[in-house]
Structure 1
């Protein structure tokens, strides 16, 4: 997280898997059609200290994620 002073060097997903849901609850109907992964790897480096005067936990995802960050869109 940039807010915690980290810069991502490289990231990746591994161990592809398929979902099998014994019980499907709305809005999970399309979950089994989406790609899934059993693991994630990240290599990051600490580039600055945390500014505790500005750091907050009460933020929305839109406030902390840039436009390049997203979950895969459903393939309908």
Structure 2
């Protein structure tokens, strides 16, 4: 256990030193929270299933393209 974890050590610190220590802990906590949220987002993105349209859906695209090409060539 590090020396600043003891009550005796903290009691000997000045108020400014205690404030500095609290600020350091809050900064570390904020950084770790951001890292955890980033990792959660990476996991969420990694575990999502990619969208792949069905054969029926892609078949409609070809039908629409043929109709568009036919309409454009007739003009």
| Fold match by TM threshold 0.5 | no
Question: TM-score, normalising length from structure 2?
Answer: 0.23
Bigger share in strand: 1
| Greater relative CO (CA pairs within 8 A, separation 6+) | 1
Please tell me whether Structure 1 or Structure 2 has the larger radius of gyration of its CA atoms: 2
Question: TM-score, normalising length from structure 1?
Answer: 0.23
Bigger share in helix: 2
